[in-house]
Amino acid sequence: MDLLCTESINSVTEAGGDQLSSSNSATQQTPMEVRLNTAVKDPTFLDDRCLENLLKSEERHARQHSNYFATVQKDITPDMRRVVAEWIIDLCEEQNCQEEVSLLALSYMDRFLSLIPIRKTHLQILATGCLLLASKLREPNYKALPVELLVFYTDHSITKKDLIRWELLVLSRLKWDVSTVTPLDFLELLLCRLPIENKKCHDISIEKVRKHAQAFISLAAREHYFSNYTASTVAASSIAASLSGLKWDLRSGQSISYLVNKFTDLTGIEQEFICECMDKMEALFQEQRRRLPQSMHITSATATIVSQHLQQQQQSCVNFKCSSTTPTDVIEL
């Protein structure tokens, strides 16, 4: 039994009869705008059972990435991986993709690189194939990135036929296990279990912390060494780093150590890993802070959040304008 809706907009309009046609004749002449409708948030998906299932799911890929630059890849360097990661994130930003698409594509790419050695000339087509696959899973059917568009973004350095072949190659090497958990999957489950909002810091809301944490996750996705941590560790560390940057611990009376202990109780992650990942995020943030005005590879959304985060740490305001552009130096790989 097919439960999918197969009727088109035109057929529904024609079935409405002459009354609908006469009353909405002007509407029929104008193409109907397709909008993305999302379901209302269901509190059921925030239950402890959902968090436990996500923790079990991420165990399948835990520590799978390792340091493949030293063990598997001989022709690929971390700098090359960073350029491709920035290209993927910029592309998704320009096409208004779901936030999980870029993270999922990078996860596929890291898993593939930890298994199969490739030449540096194949790195971009691998990234494009992973992005095509991720968009099919996390984007609605009518918004999945077309093959022609991805070929255009590579400056036609690849062909449609080769891209489809690499997509199948990625699927076969990953054994069709593409239900990868990302840090964004844990973000809401962890935020709703923390006492973030209180009277002492009324200007810090869950939504504000969520945006800052998403910016940290986006920054971390550019660096390969964060792939050694589980998705829950990256999510917990991004929240802790965001609250630390917003001075939540000083204003609320709760220490960052309290947050780390809370995350350990919720996820079972050792405090050492959370603190280590958090320190690396803050170090990356400071590095990005120094080169942000000159950088053109960071997405506009992330740049806005990072700028707000800097304003919380400093009294002075940093004014900059960062546009999202597609890097061309990927082709030189």
Question: Residue 298: pLDDT above 50?
Answer: no
* 38-97 pLDDT per residue, tens: 556 667 777 788 888 888 888 777 656 668 888 888 889 999 999 999 999 999 999 989
20 or 205: whose pLDDT is higher? 205
CA dist., res. 180 & res. 107, Å (int): 8
CB 268 within 8 A of CB 55: yes
Nearest by Cα to 329 from 120, 165, 150, 172: 120
Q: What angle do CA 173, 176, 178 make, to 5 degrees?
A: 105
In single-letter form, the type of residue at position 158 comes to I
pTM: 0.74
**pLDDT mean across residues, the chain:** 77
Task: For residue 198, give the DSSP letter.
Answer: -
Exposure of 123 by Cβ count < 10 A (0-12 exposed, 13-18 middle, 19+ buried)? Answer: buried
* pLDDT tens profile 162-197: 999 999 999 999 999 888 889 999 998 998 888 887
Q: How far apart are CA 22 and CA 126, in angstroms?
A: 53
306 phi-psi bin (left φ>0, alpha ψ -120 to 50, beta other) = alpha
Q: What does the alpha-carbon distance between residue 283 and residue 280 come to, in Å, rounded to a whole number?
A: 5
Reading the block at residue 18, the tokens are: 């002459």
In whole angstroms, give the CA distance from residue 88 to residue 90.
5
For the segment 260-284, what is each residue's pLDDT rounded down to a tens digit? 898 999 888 898 999 999 999 999 8
> In the chain, what are the domains?
66-173 (1.10.472.10), 183-313 (1.10.472.10)
Task: Tell me the C-alpha distance between 121 and 333, whole Å.
Answer: 6
Write the pLDDT tens digit of every residue in 140-159: 766 789 999 999 999 999 99
Q: Is 314 helix (H, G, I), strand (E, B) or coil?
A: coil
For residues 80 and 123, the answer to whether their CB atoms sit within 8 Å is yes
DSSP letter for 41, please.
Answer: P
Token readout for 45 is: 């998906």
List CB contacts of 118: < 8 A, sequence separation 6 or more. Answer: 73, 75, 76, 126
pLDDT at 72: 86
Angle between helices 271-291 and 300-313 (to 10 degrees): 100
User: Coil, strand, or helix at residue 95?
Assistant: coil
Predicted pLDDT at 118? 92
Query: For 233-245, how does the pLDDT look when each residue is reduced to its tens digit (9 = 90+)?
Result: 999 999 999 988 8
Tokens 């000083």, residue located: 250
Q: How far apart are the first and last CA of the chain?
A: 49
